[in-house]
Amino acid sequence: MTGRTVIAMGGGGFSMEPENPRLDDHILSIARESRGRDRPRVCFVATASGDAPTYIANFYAAFAQRAEASHLALFTRTIEDIDAFLLDQDIVYVGGGNTENMLAVWRVHGVDRALRRAWEQGVVMTGLSAGSLCWFETGTTDSLGKGLAMLSGGLGFLPGSHAPHYDGEASRRPLYQRLVSEGVMPAGYAADDGAALIFRDERLADVVASRPDARAYRVERGSDGVAVETVLPARYLG
């Protein structure tokens, strides 16, 4: 299994499901197969939370025994050559928080360019919430503090739009469908908490779930201007 890989979790992983490691285990298994290391190198990027110490500590608690864990801090930067550091990883795991702030900080430090180079070299890109949304062109975000809004611009590794936490908040689904139906937002993918979309070379290859009822969806604008939501088959990892 080679090529460019993005695993976009609507929600889940160690920070949302500390007693349910199914999604994180699956990410590690993909990296082992594609990168050839029994203990993958996993870098946590917690920029969206302002490099929250507790968040970073929880990452190490979840991964240190089964992977070579590290993190990239930007608010108190310790890594000089970010390009080389990220290229040396097997997985880049992006945490949740404020997506707009995260992307702005990344661009100041050149992390956006370094991530693209690492992704193009086969490093697995993953994350939840902000760490799921950032890989797409745009999507729905709560970064601006007044309910949900349209993301000004993601990294664009994946074409189209994305809505994480699709079942997590009452306003997520109707806003995403409205923006797509109005043609304001391009068609894209939504994911419930506990669901992960796996893309290889920008194409959806698989959908997996840590919960039996977690789903993912393709959302497009129909010919009549109404949003069409298609449920994507998901493999429960339990």
For the chain of 238 residues, list the mean pLDDT of each consecutive stretch of 10: 87 96 98 94 98 98 97 97 98 98 98 98 97 97 86 96 94 94 96 98 97 97 95 96
Closest CA to 194 of 238, 162, 228: 238
Residue 236 β-bridge partners? 209
Position 89: which residue type?
A: Q
Query: Long-range contacts made by residues 200-206, C-beta under 8 angstroms, separation at least 24?
Result: 200/1, 200/3, 200/4, 200/5, 201/3, 201/4, 202/4, 202/157, 202/158, 202/159, 204/232, 206/235
The pair of structure tokens assigned to 42 is 């996993």
Q: Are 154 and 135 in contact (CB under 8 A)?
A: yes
What CATH number is given for 5-236 in this structure?
Answer: 3.40.50.880
The CA-atom distances, in angstroms, between 195 and each of 37, 156, 191, 204 are 25, 21, 6, 13
Q: Is 165 a catalytic residue?
A: yes
Can you give the pLDDT at residue 1?
45
Q: In terms of residues, how long is the chain?
A: 238
Residue 206 β-bridge partners? 198
Max Cα distance, the chain (Å): 53
Mean confidence (pLDDT) of the chain: 96
143-172: b or e for each residue (b if 16 or more CB lie within 10 Å)? beeeebebbeebbebbebbbbbbbbeeeeb
What's the first-to-final CA gap in the chain, in angstroms?
Answer: 23
Q: Is 129 a catalytic residue?
A: yes
Catalytic residue among 15, 132, 165, 181: 165
Catalytic residue among 15, 34, 129, 181: 129
Q: Are 57 and 108 in contact (CB under 8 A)?
A: no
Can you give the pLDDT at residue 2?
58
pLDDT, tens only, 163-172:
999 998 888 9
Q: Are 180 and 227 in contact (CB under 8 A)?
A: yes
pLDDT, tens only, 136-156:
999 999 998 778 889 989 999
